[in-house]
Amino acid sequence: MLKKISAVTLFVSLLGLSVPNAQAVQITKFETLTQKQIEQSYYFDWNRNSTFRAAIYKAFKTSKITVPSWVRQGAGPAAPARVITSGATKFVLLNTCKARECDKNELFVVFDPVTKAAFAVGQLDGKTTWIGNPNATVKQILSTASGLR
């Protein structure tokens, strides 16, 4: 099996494609992050940043919802972050879910690195929930990304 994996990796690298590497990305100063660095990061990378975490907690508090433990821990499955541009604003779009329960517990987050505000939509215990009172623009981004309305 190891030989097959090595052959596949070699074949992919010869094609000039990259194999994702899930190493931790250090999220410190938002203003110095490049788009490439953002797109190589995941929710769990961002969750280690105290400013990001505070923005998530504030969004949940605004919505009078307790932050689920799987969101606090940030250890669930996640896709790579994306940069979404709307007008002059560049948002970071992230997602995570509760391990082995992604169908009932998932979260899509839009974070503005300039204002340090976070908004989210997700399935919490199977119920669609909007978090942080997003404006129409952010709501559209979250709806498009998540498929939730």
pLDDT tens for the chain, 149 residues long, are 333 333 333 343 344 443 344 567 889 889 899 999 999 999 999 999 999 999 999 999 999 999 999 999 999 999 999 999 999 999 999 999 999 999 999 999 999 999 999 999 999 999 999 999 999 999 999 999 999 98
pTM of the model: 0.83
Q: Are 67 and 59 in contact (CB under 8 A)?
A: no
Q: Are 112 and 120 in contact (CB under 8 A)?
A: no
CATH class of segment(s) 27-146 = alpha beta
Domain coordinates of the chain in residue numbers?
27-146
Long-range contacts of residues 65-71, Cβ cutoff 8 Å, at least 24 apart: 65/124, 65/129, 65/131, 68/98, 68/105, 68/124, 70/96, 70/97, 70/98, 70/99, 70/105, 71/96, 71/107
Give the three-class secondary structure for 125.
coil
